[in-house]
Chains A and B, each alone.
Chain A
Amino acid sequence: MWGDGGGRVITARRLEKRFGDKRVLRGLDFELPRGATLLVTGANGSGKTTLLRLCAGLAAPTRGELEVRAQRRDIGYLGHEPLVYRELTALENLELYGRLYRVPERRERIGMLLERFGLWDARGERAGSFSRGMLQRLALCRALLHEPELLLLDEPFNALDSEGAALLDAELAELARERTLLVATHDPERLAPFATGTLALA
């Protein structure tokens, strides 16, 4: 459910974020319409991750306005860290998040995602034993588990092998038709087929 009506999911006006003396984002203006897929590009340190964290509510702007018309349960976030407990199994991690997000028919949804991302056979293994690519797949399962309306993805292809990247290509193509996506990426060409716009950070 969206918090408000209207066609824009995210509206930023003169958005600024500082960490001490360092200004990471300066006077940023953008809008993310509902159903759009906006790519965020820029060099390392240009503020892509910071922007996604601001939109997720994990950080607060130093100045300016940022309006995100989505409740927490409607946001799926994939960051640099997979946000999974290494001592828990893949299944236990998704069970935990499934409970916290009140995912209906949780077991079925978890099983379907694990199958789709090729982790079903590893479901009983601790996440700490996973390769970086498997962790990224598990992180994608976690981010998509509650079927969020707004997806904030930070370098989603990071660490994925060709098979994993192909799976994600297909998933993102489907998601882009139904959801609103804000994707930070160094590889905009890969996402160009379904992107509706690009936000280049200096």
Chain B
Amino acid sequence: MSGYAQDVVALARKDLTLELRARDTLPAMLLFVLSMLVVFHFVLPAGGSRLAANGLLWVAIVFTALLGLTRAFAAEREHGLLDGLVLAPCDRSAIWLGKSIAMLGFLVAAEVVALPAFALFFGAVDGTTVAAVALANLGICAVGTLIAAMASAGRARELLLPLLFLPLSIPIVIGGVGATVADDPGRYLAFLALYDALFAVLSWASFEYVVTE
């Protein structure tokens, strides 16, 4: 394994260990997404539109991710630990990638519970939806981690993160909803994959400038 990959693994493992011990992100995400689905279940009239239900699934995913992202750099922010990581001689993009992988783990864990709950309330989830959610997760975590790092340096971070993240997540919602409801989901899945690739490269390349003065 290359030195870069070792750094990424060490940093992602650190974040997963912190969450296993502190348990302050994943339980909140799980509770939030389940609460949203229960609320949506009662908001939609009985026998309501399947299209509307599919749209609400994406609302639940995006806002659950947002909740997780607010905690993404909490440990680093509270004790100035980002300085320690920035000082290390590793490529600074490894910090972004390690954090994104950990964030992806939390989001997938939340969805492992959320998707069966959605199926229970609104009907079965097909393979296309699962594929769209998987692709959307990559984009959410790539962009979201970069913006969470930017927001963590600011004073109004609770305000800044949703203000920056939600507009950038609109293409993800368009691609995700499109893939879920369209007769030809291939175009939308390709759109999501393109978004992932584009924003992953942009985030990877720009992270250094976000964490250094």
* Chain A contact residues, CB within 8 Å of chain B: 56-60, 71-73, 75, 77, 79-88, 92, 96-97, 99-102, 126, 142
Contact = CB atoms under 8 A, between A and B. Distances in A.
A83 B22 CA distance: 18
Contacts of B22: 87
Interface residues of B, number: 24
A51 B197 CA distance: 40
B83 A100 contact: no
B213 to A, nearest CB: 5
Contact of B14 (A56, A77, A88): A88
B84 A97 contact: yes
Contacts of A79: 80, 83
A84 B18 CA distance: 12
A56 B10 contact: no
Do most interface residues of chain A lie in helix, strand or loop, or is the interface mixed? Answer: loop
Interface in B169-213: 212-213
Contacts of A80: 80
Contacts, number: 75
Given A79-B80, A96-B10, A85 B18 contact: yes
Interface in B1-57: 3, 6-7, 10-11, 14, 17-18, 21-22
Contacts of A142: 84
B22 to A, nearest CB: 5
6 contacts: A58-B213, A59-B213, A75-B87, A81-B81, A86-B79, A88-B17
Contacts of B3: 102
A58 B88 CA distance: 11
Nearest to B3: A102
A71 B89 contact: yes
Contacts of B213: 58-60
B162 to A, nearest CB: 26
B87 A56 contact: yes
Given A99-B7, A100-B88, A83 B14 contact: no
Contact of A99 (B6, B17, B79, B87): B6
Nearest to A102: B3
A87 B86 contact: no
Contacts of A60: 212-213
A186 to B, nearest CB: 21
Given A58-B86, A102-B89, A96 B80 contact: no
Given A87-B21, A88-B14, A92-B17, A81 B79 contact: yes
Contacts of B87: 56-58, 72, 75, 77, 83
Interface string B65-84: 00000000001000111011
B83 A58 contact: yes
